[in-house]
Amino acid sequence: MYHNGVYHLFYQYNPLGATWGAGNLSWGHSISRDLVNWAALDTALDPTAPFDNNGCWSGSATILPGSIPALMYTGRIDAGKEVQVQNIAFPKNPADPFLHEWVKPAYNPVIRLPIDVPGDKFRDPTTAWVGGDGLWRIAVAAKVGGPSGIASTLIYRSKDFRRWKRNALPLYMSHTADMVECPDLFPVAEPGVEEGRLGYTSEMASGVLRHVLKLSVMETTQDYYAVGRYDDVVDTFVPEMDDERNVDDCRTWRRLDYGHMYASKTFFDARKNRRVLWAWANESDSKDDDIAKGWSGVQTFPRKVWLDKDGKQLRQWPIEEIETLRSKQVIYWLEAQVNAGGVNKIVGAGAQADVEAVFEIPSLEEAESFDPNWLLDPQKLCAEKGASARGGVGPFGLLVMASSDLHEYTSVFFRMFKYNQKPKVLMCTDLTRSTTRANVYKPSYGGFVDMDIEEHKRSISLRTLIDHSVVESFGGGGRTCITTRVYPKHVEKSDSHMYVFNNGTGVVKVSRLEAWRLATAIINAVPGGS
């Protein structure tokens, strides 16, 4: 949340170890002035009360009238039965600019486990909003009807933010997903409408016609979203889908990220009138590795989120403050080209870098024919047609976190197909060569880029942020995003390198390429310490 000139990030944290500790789960608390450099404070919430003695689980922050922040969170009680309830906490001293201490009222839990929901299937309250009737609302993820029930997002209403009543209808139900988590509902501005009026979910001003519902699906560990219509009279959300068969199955919705990212959460940044998304990227090496390094799991780069002009998809882009870390521009190309089978080095980029490239395709004649069945599983298609599988137009893109002998590298690339006489764009991040270490998960990730490159003069952009073990890529101006974790062995002994490559049969033109080294941000420094 943004409050009185300070950004606050609360996150799931085990203060007693680097690995998962359910009974120890607390809320870590970090603060920032710029969303880039962070100071660590003491934990905001710890499992110390009868209503959260088996962990303070996920939740959200809401700014109440009078500029009073409130934290709503899931408490887990009774380790044997795993009962989840919803609790509230307030700052001990609202005038404290850093909100060091939080108080959990004795009247918790404010929402008890419903009788039609299993004990461990009721969690993750959203940021609250006010409807047209003046009542507060929150959404909570639940499985209604027992262990084999329906994945639901329930709505609760309140006059005073203390006594909450469940709405008769859920916000949304998915009869196909097993369990959803971390719901997020927020308004989106139509193209040309100022985003600054979108501070609250309930904002229904002119131009705010649609909302986005985001759900994290536990069985796939992926985040899905739909653009649709939210009715604050009955408190229901109806997705707008091209294929009505997908309305009921949130697993067929668009993905926020086609890589290694989960449990995302947005907040409205009143300082800059924008919606910002945070997300979690857990580790993909072994538990022993986590213990050895003393930590596990990171937050992705914060991203600005907005509705594309097509009205159907979100676009995401690293917040502009990230550019303050650009310490040295190492390369600037204009009107270069990469021949078939070519690999061109980007000198000096290293293991902390920000690179922006625009690729132009002189001809699509050599593009392969597209099989409509590939739409069902782009990740599988990326595995079958990886960076080393030569194609017609592509694969072309970047090799990052690469050793000098190219025994290790992570490839981020595009591949073009022809479908009904129109180009179809696939974006992939291939980790199969990312490390020679054992016991590391290194799949291929992929998604299609929903854009007509003919309308963009047969060009497509790619921005990739590299931060040691994290590689985040934004294709087509942020229409498709892929986050990955990589652990190359060569970094223990030498620097990493970056290359532009083209493994297609024709020339690919690089109309622009800029790359910068990134300075190291201050992360969780202790105030008054080093």
Q: Are residues 241 and 389 in the same domain?
A: no
Mind listing the pLDDT tens digit for each residue in 398-441? 999 999 999 999 999 999 999 988 899 999 999 999 999 998 99
Do 417 and 509 sit in the same domain of this protein?
yes
Does residue 179 surpass a pLDDT of 70? yes
The three-class DSSP label of residue 56 is strand
Helix (H), strand (E), coil (C) string for 321-364: HHHHHEEEEEEEEEEEEECCCEEEEECCCCCEEEEEEEEECCCC
With respect to residue 283, please indicate whether it lies within any of the assigned structural domains. yes
Give the HSE-up count for residue 412: Cα atoms under 13 Å, Cβ half-sphere: 33
377 inside domain: yes
User: Of the ranges 77-81, 92-96, 499-503, 505-509, which one carries the lowest mean pLDDT score?
Assistant: 77-81
pLDDT at 80 (0 to 100): 77
Q: Which residues pair with 32 in a beta bridge?
A: 7
Tens digits of per-residue pLDDT, 445-462?
999 999 999 888 899 999
Q: What is the pLDDT of residues 46-71, one digit of tens each?
A: 999 999 999 999 999 999 999 999 99
Asked, for residue 523, whether it belongs to a domain, the answer is no
Residues 72 and 52 sit within 8 Å (Cβ to Cβ)? no
**The domain boundary residue, chosen from 318, 334, 360:** 318
Band of the pLDDT at 81, cuts 50, 70, 90?
confident
Domain shared by 86 and 136, yes or no: no
pTM over 0.85: yes
Predicted pLDDT at 328: 87
Q: Does residue 359 share a domain with residue 424?
A: yes
* Highest mean pLDDT (candidates 271-275, 328-332, 337-341): 271-275
**Do 186 and 287 sit in the same domain of this protein?**
yes
First to last CA, the chain: 26
Whole-number pLDDT of residue 341: 86
Domain match, 99 and 242 both: no
Among the listed residues 526, 392, 375, the one whose alpha carbon sits nearest the alpha carbon of residue 448 = 375
pLDDT in the model for residue 527: 64
CA distance 323 to 441: 30
Condensed to tens digits (0 to 9), the pLDDT of residues 264-319 reads: 999 999 999 999 999 999 999 999 999 998 989 999 999 999 999 999 999 999 99
pLDDT(243) > 80: no
Last residue of a domain, one of 84, 110, 136: 110
CB 527 within 8 A of CB 39: yes
Q: What is the pLDDT of residues 197-216, one digit of tens each?
A: 556 554 444 456 799 999 99
**Domain range spanning residue 75?**
1-110
pLDDT of residue 530: 37
Whether residue 46 is contained in a domain is answered as yes
What percent of the chain clears pLDDT 70, i.e. is strictly above it?
A: 96
CATH code where residue 363 lies:
2.60.120.560
Examine residue 528 and state whether it is found in any structural domain, yes or no: no
Let me know: does 380 contact 397? Beta carbons within 8 Å: no
Distances in Å between the Cα of 343 and the Cα atoms of 124, 173, 507, 508, 527 are 47, 49, 12, 12, 46
Which pLDDT score, from 0 to 100, does residue 12 have?
Answer: 94
Looking at the fold, whether 167 and 294 belong to one and the same domain comes out as yes
Q: Tokens for 225?
A: 């979203």
Average pLDDT, the chain: 92
CA–CA dist 407, 401 (Å, integer): 11
Helix or strand run (H / E) with residue 146: none
Instruction: Mark whether 170 and 260 lie in a shared domain.
Output: yes
| Dist CA 111 CA 26 (whole Å) | 20
- Number of structural domains found in the chain: 3
Between 186-190, 226-230, 477-481, the lowest mean confidence (pLDDT) is in 186-190
Cα–Cα nearest to 145, from 178, 123, 112, 171: 178
Where a domain ends, among 318, 347, 372? 318
The domain that holds 81 is classified in CATH as: 2.115.10.20
Quick one: pLDDT band at residue 351, thresholds 50, 70, 90?
Answer: very high
pLDDT tens-place string over residues 377-387: 999 999 999 99
Nearest to 141 by CA among 257, 25, 256, 223: 223
- Assigned domain for 116 exists: no
What pLDDT score was predicted for residue 244? 75
Share of the chain above pLDDT 90, in %: 81
Handedness of CA 147, 149, 153, 158 (dihedral sign): negative
Report the pLDDT value the prediction gives residue 529, as an integer from 0 to 100: 47
Whether residue 144 sits in one domain with residue 47: no
Local confidence band at 528 (pLDDT 50, 70, 90 cut-offs) = low
The amino acid present at 92, given as its one-letter code, is K
Distance of CA 501 to the CA centre of its chain: 28
Residues 6+ apart with CB under 8 A from 321: 34, 35, 36
Question: How many of the other CB atoms lie within 10 Å of CB of 21?
Answer: 14
Q: How confident is the model at residue 196 (pLDDT cuts 50, 70, 90)?
A: low
What's the CA gap between 276 and 297, in Å, rounded? Answer: 20
pLDDT of 336 over the 90 cut? no
Residue 206: its pLDDT value, please?
47
Q: Are residues 140 and 245 both part of a single domain?
A: yes
On whether residue 299 sits in a domain, the answer given is yes
pLDDT, mean of residues 227-246: 90
Q: Report whether 51 contacts 36 (CB < 8 A).
A: no
Same domain, 301 and 430: no
Nearest-angstrom CA–CA distance, 142 and 154? 7
**Mean pLDDT score, 79-97:** 92
Domain co-membership, 213 together with 86: no
Domain annotation covers residue 443: yes
